[in-house]
Chain A
Amino acid sequence: MRSRVLGASVATVLALSACGGNLDDSASDAGSTFPERAVRVLVGQDAGGSTDLIARALAEPASADLKKPVTVLNKAGANGGVAAKELAGAEADGYTLMVFNGSLAYITPLAVAADEAVDINGFEVVTGVSQDDYVLVANPKTGFKTVKDIVDAKRPITFATTGVGTGSQLCQELLFAQASVDATAVPFNGGAPALTAALGGQVDVAAVQLGEGQSQIKAGKVTPIVTFAAERPAYLPDTPTAQESGYTALVQQSRAIVAPKGAPRETLDRLRAAFQKAFAEQKYKDFNAQRSLTPNEVDGATLLRQWNASRDTYRGLIEKYKIDLSGKS
């Protein structure tokens, strides 16, 4: 057993040293020979988060198909803005990729100054990956089971969000604005603390990603109220969607593999083929199920259409309901 581990680490060392320097000064001719060396996948979030786990779950099988190491590199900051900037500046040769969060493309621009916003159309999309649904959960002590309960309570409520300018904030703001509930947003730093606040009764409700809330919902520690999905997610069949309850609040997190603008078509196709192989792996499918992720393995053009449409829809909605995502309201 031990020798296997040692063997693996020695192999890693050799593979890494064989890949040579990482300064990208020798322009390699891309094409049939791609890849000649390791591929880096940037992740704009810290290790251990949903996006990071997805990247790592994909890197392993993709590297088996490409026969070169695929290394995950965390560059956290500005909701992925730091990594996106690095990607934009990287050589467009397919050796630098990024797992791009949909919220960075279609929600963050609504919350930050124009010069800080990242435009997804300035990148090449290799492939869509998966979608993550948001669910509104309540502390059982509040007695809330449906949106109607919240409205009928006729009292000001507090809701936890996973941060300013996130889907968690957008979906709740939309719901409460339409339901005319006097609600105060309390931003937390990510899904786990927001959920903890709802569990401990610090806030009345919270919207978190399904994968994060699933185990607490199953244990009955929080009550699911609505999901913000297009249709009832297979993982939570008994909870209505916001749409069914009569509110326009379709908000999802979505993820895609993205390369710098101008990467050669053949290289992108080769990468897409490798990720398709990874998507087909049973282990990866199990991971999706475990994490309550819905596959969205579409091609680049379709994904851009989806994301651009989401951005325009959200822009229209927040104008209609006079929501300020920057938190200044």
Chain B
Amino acid sequence: MTEPERPPAAGAATTLVTAALVVVLGGAAVAGALNLGVGSASAPGPGMWPALVGAALVVLGGVLAARARGTEDAERFTRTGLLVLAATGTMVVFVAVVGVIGFEIPTVSLAFVWLRFLGRESWRLSAIVSVAATAAFYLLFVGALGVTIPHLF
């Protein structure tokens, strides 16, 4: 077993926030569903099913909140979470530019940033791996499979 021990557990506050979000999601679904029209049993409307599911979410969110003290399966958010934020940022940029400048440059850049800054690999290795990976993706997806992803070359 190489499973590392779990990071510090979060308190009841995290669970309460989660439960609140679940209730909000369910409530929004119910509101949207009612707007769509619920219909009747012989002619069910488009909103009937989402309304039922949304109501279930509200109830379940309530149950979760009521049991917030007993649940210990959540982890505390710590400063290392900033890494995740940074990684997400690079991917958001990837999505934003891929349609405009093709996938090659964003792919090299994303790989390089993850390797060098998030992974603390050496400059040389980061450069080699990111360029090689991009070339491999190009050959595989554009060359062999004929995928129509926006590309420069």
Contact = CB atoms under 8 A, between A and B. Distances in A.
| Direct A/B contact, Cβ within 8 angstroms | yes
Interface of A: 9, 12-13, 16-17, 20-23, 40, 71, 73
B144 A13 contact: yes
26 contacts: A12-B146, A13-B143, A13-B144, A16-B142, A16-B143, A16-B146, A17-B142, A17-B143, A17-B153, A20-B153, A21-B150, A21-B151, A21-B152, A21-B153, A22-B148, A22-B150, A23-B100, A23-B101, A23-B102, A23-B150, A23-B151, A23-B152, A40-B148, A71-B146, A71-B148, A73-B148
A12 B145 CA distance: 9
Contacts of B150: 21-23
User: Chain A's interface: helix, strand, loop or mixed, by majority?
Assistant: mixed
Contacts of A21: 102, 150-153
Nearest to A15: B146
Nearest to B151: A21
Interface residues of B, number: 12
Contacts of A40: 148
A303 B143 CA distance: 38
Given A23-B102, A71-B148, 11 more contacts: A9-B144, A16-B142, A16-B143, A16-B146, A17-B153, A20-B153, A21-B151, A23-B100, A23-B101, A40-B148, A73-B148
Contacts of B100: 23
Interface core residue of B142, B143, B146, B152 (most chain A CB under 10 Å)? B146
A20 to B, nearest CB: 6
A9 B145 CA distance: 10
Interface of B: 100-102, 142-144, 146, 148, 150-153
A71 B144 CA distance: 14
Contacts of B143: 13, 16-17
Contacts of A20: 153
- Which 3 A-B pairs have CB atoms at the shortest separation, nearest pair first? A21-B152, A13-B143, A21-B151
B108 to A, nearest CB: 15
A17 B151 CA distance: 11
A73 B102 CA distance: 18
Contacts of B148: 22, 40, 71, 73
Contacts of A73: 148
Contacts of B142: 16-17
B151 A22 contact: yes
Nearest to B142: A16
Contacts of B101: 23
Contacts of B153: 17, 20-21
A21 B102 CA distance: 8
Contacts of B152: 21, 23
A71 B146 CA distance: 9
